[in-house]
Structure formats: structure tokens, C-alpha cells
A and B are shown apart, each in its own frame.
Chain A
Amino acid sequence: MSNAEIARTPFDPAVLFKAAFLAVVAVFVLVPLLATLLGGFKSLGELRVNPFGLPRHWEWQNYADILFSGRYWQLLRNSLIISTLTVILTLITASMAAFTFAHVKFYGSSMLLSYLTLGLLFPAATAVLPLFIKVRDLGLLDTYFGVALPQVAFSLAMSVLLLRRFFRDIPHELLEAALVDGCSYVKFFRYVTLPLSRPILATVGTITFVNSWNAYLLPLVMLNTDALYPWPLGIMIYQGEYSSEWHLILAFITLTILPTIILFLLAQKHIVAGLTAGAVKG
């Protein structure tokens, strides 16, 4: 059809419509983000009369006050500790389990795997009250582990599935040959499987990290001490304290989502890869 050639000309209404549509969606996404970033540079008075435009007078002080306050860094540190703990424990436990499910035949293997993957369906909110009581009874309330361990448990289902699929692509013959040569399963896992699996480990690690970094409900229930709060809890408190001083709150929001955006730009390949790999599974 000649439609295809016509579509190349810039005056084609379909192309114009498409461009307009994309522009509208882009504005819809961008405006709240830009308004947040720029709002942090305004004074409260200017925010009221000029919420959309560039600041007439750039109030760097809003940002500086937060960056020099110590409070901001404490929140980031707590988040970093909890997320790192979660990622390390998830990667260790999930990769070991995934390796077993991928390469070791044993009675009940598929049943145990289905048991684990049921976790994909379970709503965390159902578990959260009993979890609170369990974590309290274990003496882990108000500790980083009290948040990290349940997060690991809830991230296992997806992680094991993603890792197992990748591990299975490492030829089983390779493992058999290594075993014949006197290598053990454990050594094969350590020196062959893991090094070959860096891309998928990075993907699972990134997704676990982002989920943990952004999590709110579990930390909210498990932590009572401000000094241990990760940033989503801290920023809610901050917003409560400065209730309508939006210029400060916006600067604070910007500074807390900045690490997320930087992480995303660095790791977007892994995030998108994991998303679509997990999706194709069904």
C-alpha cells in the first residue's frame, strides 16, 4: 500500500495525532515531577503565586538545610542497610534453592517448588499482623533484621523462579562432566553457576533492592524508633512536622527520590529485563 510512503510526510494527520498524544502523556508525567524539583527552589510565598514556572529567585538554602541536617543522611543510611541486607540474603538463599531445583533431581522437587511459588499470590497485608507478633516474639522488633528477614521471605518466590530459569540453561551435561571429574555440587555452584549467572543475579538483586528501598508497610509495622526509620517512613514524619511548608517538603522529596532515579538510570537494563522475564513466565 502506498499509505506507508504517505506516512513519512510530516503533514500526515495520523503522525500529528500521534505526536500530540505522546506530548500530552509526557506533560501529564513530567509536570508533577518538575514542579516538585523546582518547587524546592522557591520560597513558600512564591510557590503560591508561581507553582509552575521557574523560580524567580533560586532558594538553594532549602536544599542546603536538608543536606546539612544529618537527618536526611540518617534516613538514607537506614534504607541502605535494610535494602543491602535484604538483597544479600535474598541472593544467597534464592540462588541456592534455585540451583537445587534446577539441577538436583529428588522426590518432591516439583511440589516444593510449587509451594514456594505460591508466595507470588499471597498478599503481604494478610501476614503483617501475625508477622509483627512473630518478629516481636523473636526479639527482632525495632531491628534492621526484623524488616529485612520478612522482606527476603516475600521476595523469594519471584527470585527463585527467575534464577531457576536461568540456571537451567546452563547445560546439565556440564555439571555431570564436572561431577565425574570429582568436582562437588557445591563447588560447581560456586565456581561455575554463579559466575555464569551474573546478569540474572544483577537483575534479581536490582529488583529486590528497589522493592526494599521503596517499602513502607513492613518498616512501618516493625520499627518504632525514629533513628532506625528508612526514608519512606522518615519523609512521612517530615511531612507531618512541616505540614504546609511545601517548599521544604518538596526539596526533601526531591532529595529522597534522587537516589532512586540515579539507581534506575544505572540499572534500568536489569530492572526492565527482570520485569519482562518475570512476566513471560505466567
Chain B
Amino acid sequence: MGVAGKAVPQTAVRGPSWDGRFTVLILFLPPALLLFTLFVVLPIGEAAWYSGFNWNGFGRPTNWIGFDNYRFVLETRAFWLALRNNGLIIAVSLAIQLPLALTLALMLAERFRGAVALRMLFFMPYILAEIATGLIFSFVYDGDYGLVASIWRTFGAEPPHLLASTDTAMLAVLIVIVWKYFGFHMMLFIAALQSLDKSLIEAARIDGATRSQALRHVVIPLLYPTIRLSVFFAIIGSLQLFDLVMPLTRGGPADSSNTMVSFLYNNGISRMRVGYGSAIGVILFVICVTFAFTYKRWFMRDE
């Protein structure tokens, strides 16, 4: 039916009808809501339910053990190591990654030859899959063939196997995390810088502020919303880190580089200990959601 087709006068008077809206509501909303409920919300609820059972995933769960799974998780030293590692990842993200990203953004938001190319280059690691990144760095760190090893050898020392030692594995993972994600935050900052009102900065300069004063007292405060957002992404991302750990260390050696999710995978999924794994998942969920709501409430109220 062409829009210009039949000119029925009544329709023109009646205007948009409830019927039309109703059709849209029953056709357009259900697919998204169903998929979301079935594959996101229900499974999270089920994780809470399964966490009360000692269950291997086959048949129906029958062996109800209450909160014992949570007790088992909290009594495992490896879980606390994983939690500590997630804390380390957050610390490195906030203390090294974001300042680095902000510094680079301030440098690269200006126009000069090569700025766009550098932006693309720094963003490239973010586009790569975590698995590929992890494998590339397990080569870099390889004690026989890797780049780090050959640097060691030029100094005449026996190269270490960084990923195979409990002292260094987590440190090695942290370096890869900075390599992979700083470009993402840099891009956020560049986008924010480019949408800033330049006249405010010019006004400050005319009033006699030096470059660094203008930066500290005008530019950075104007960036606060983006910085808060970046911090939010960095922390939520750090809590859920997994793919990068698998090709590098699988959480080892001796659980020294596990994150909460790799701990969940190694103990819950690969051994199909559904109740135990679900308890870890629920703990992760509670941490993420509590953090998100607290943060939003305290730091992002105005947005």
C-alpha cells in the first residue's frame, strides 16, 4: 500500500490509532526482551539457584547444601589470590593505564603530522582479540625464543621464563593488560577533548594562564565526566578479565595469575562443578553490581 494510495478522509481525522501501536508492541518488543530474559537474566537467577547445590550438571539438581559452596569458595586460598589479582589489575589500570592514556590523548588531540597515524596505532591492540594478544605475548615472554629472553642474553644472563614463575607471571600479565587497553581509554579522552569548548581554554590563556595552568584548571576539570566514565569501564573490565589470561598462563603457575573468571573457569566449568562455579559467579556478580551502583550514585550522579 503506497502512502499516497487511498485517500480515506476518516483516517486523516482519526490520526494514529491504538491498534497501530499495539501491533508494534506485540511484534517489535518481544524478540529482544525474550532473548535478553532467556539468555541473560534467567541464567543469572539460575546461577544463584544452582549455587545452593552440589551438582555436576547432569539430571536435575537434588543435593541441596545451602550456602556451603560459598563457604568452600571463601575457604579456598586460590580464590583470594584471584581476588587480589583483580585488585592488582584495577590498581594498574588506574595508576598507570589511565594516566598514560590521558597524557597521550592530550598530545594527540592536537593536529600535527602523524597524529592520526599514531592514534590508530595505539588503538590497534584494543581491536585485536584477547586470545591473539595473549599468544603474541607468550611468544614475547618465551624463555627460549622470546624477545625478552634475547634481551637477557645480550647481557650474558640466563633468560628467565617469566610466565612460568609464581613471582613474575602476574606482573607479565599486567604489562600485557596495559599494552592492550590503554588505546581504548586514549580514544575516549581524545573524543572528549575534541568536543570541548575551545573558547574556555582561550579565555584562560588570554587571562594570563600558562599552558600547564590552563591544562590543570580548565581542561582536566572539563574532562572529569569522561575520566569518571573511563574509571568505571576500567574497573568493570578489570573485574571480568579472562580471555587474556588463558593463552598467557591459564591462571598458573599454582594459581598465581588467576582472575576471578579464570578461577571460575578452571574450577567450575572445566570440571563441571556447577554449584561451586555458580557460587563464584554469584560472588563476581555481587561485586560488579554493587560497585556499579555505588559508583553511579557517588560519582556519576549528575550525568
Selected from B16, B47, B136, the residue in CB contact (under 8 A) with A179 is: B16
Q: Are B20 and A275 in contact (CB under 8 A)?
A: no
Q: Are A129 and B268 in contact (CB under 8 A)?
A: yes
Interfacial chain B residues near A182, Cβ < 8 Å: 1, 3, 5-6, 8, 11-12
Interfacial chain A residues near B40, Cβ < 8 Å: 119, 122, 127, 150, 153-154, 156
Assuming the A-B contacts A1-B210, A217-B265, are A127 and B281 also in contact, with contact meaning beta carbons closer than 8 angstroms in the complex? yes
Judge if A123 is at the interface, Cβ distance under 8 Å.
yes
Selected from A152, A184, A216, the residue in CB contact (under 8 A) with B20 is: A184
Chain B interface mostly = helix
Assuming the A-B contacts A153-B36, A282-B225, are A275 and B187 also in contact, with contact meaning beta carbons closer than 8 angstroms in the complex? yes
Judge if B196 is at the interface, Cβ distance under 8 Å.
no
Q: Are B44 and A122 in contact (CB under 8 A)?
A: yes
The 6 closest A-B pairs by CB, nearest first: A153-B39, A214-B129, A127-B43, A126-B281, A97-B32, A276-B191
Q: Are B47 and A127 in contact (CB under 8 A)?
A: yes
Which residues of B are in contact with A by a Cβ distance under 8 Å?
A: 1, 3-6, 8, 11-12, 15-16, 20-21, 23-25, 27-29, 31-33, 35-36, 38-40, 42-44, 46-47, 50, 57, 100, 103-104, 107-108, 118, 120-125, 127-132, 135-137, 139-140, 142, 144-147, 149-150, 179, 183-184, 187-188, 191, 205, 208, 210-211, 225-226, 229, 233, 236, 239-240, 242-243, 246-247, 260-261, 264-265, 268-269, 274, 277-278, 281-282, 284-285, 288-289, 292, 300, 303
Q: Are A131 and B39 in contact (CB under 8 A)?
A: yes
Assuming the A-B contacts A123-B240, A127-B44, are A179 and B24 also in contact, with contact meaning beta carbons closer than 8 angstroms in the complex? no
Interfacial chain A residues near B3, Cβ < 8 Å: 178, 181-183, 187
Q: Are A25 and B264 in contact (CB under 8 A)?
A: no
Assuming the A-B contacts A26-B118, A221-B269, A246-B142, are A257 and B29 also in contact, with contact meaning beta carbons closer than 8 angstroms in the complex? no
Interface residues on chain A, size class: 35 or more
Q: Are B131 and A271 in contact (CB under 8 A)?
A: no
Which residues of A are in contact with B by a Cβ distance under 8 Å?
A: 1, 3, 18, 21-22, 25-26, 28-33, 35-36, 39, 44, 47-48, 51-52, 92-94, 96-97, 99-100, 104-106, 112, 115-116, 119, 121-134, 149-150, 152-154, 156-157, 160, 176, 178-187, 189, 210, 213-214, 216-217, 221, 232, 235-236, 239, 244, 246, 249-250, 253, 256-257, 260-261, 264, 268, 271-272, 275-276, 279-280, 282
Interfacial chain B residues near A185, Cβ < 8 Å: 20-21, 23-24
Interfacial chain A residues near B108, Cβ < 8 Å: 22
Closest partner residue, chain B, to A277 (CB atom): B191
CB distance from A234 to the nearest CB of B (A): 10
Q: Are A153 and B38 in contact (CB under 8 A)?
A: yes
Q: Are A126 and B284 in contact (CB under 8 A)?
A: yes
CB distance from A16 to the nearest CB of B (A): 13
Closest partner residue, chain A, to B211 (CB atom): A3
Q: How far is the CA of A146 from the CA of B268 in the complex (A)?
A: 20
Q: How far is the CA of A32 from the CA of B142 in the complex (A)?
A: 12
CB distance from A120 to the nearest CB of B (A): 8
Closest partner residue, chain B, to A160 (CB atom): B32
The residue in B32, B40, B123, B229 that gathers the most chain A C-beta atoms within 10 A of its C-beta is B32
Chain A interface mostly = helix
Q: Are A264 and B124 in contact (CB under 8 A)?
A: yes
CB distance from B52 to the nearest CB of A (A): 13
Q: How far is the CA of A280 from the CA of B187 in the complex (A)?
A: 12
Assuming the A-B contacts A112-B33, A153-B38, A261-B127, are A121 and B292 also in contact, with contact meaning beta carbons closer than 8 angstroms in the complex? yes
Q: How far is the CA of A33 from the CA of B188 in the complex (A)?
A: 23
Q: Are B16 and A180 in contact (CB under 8 A)?
A: yes
CB distance from A202 to the nearest CB of B (A): 16
Q: Are A22 and B39 in contact (CB under 8 A)?
A: no
Selected from A30, A149, A249, the residue in CB contact (under 8 A) with B35 is: A149
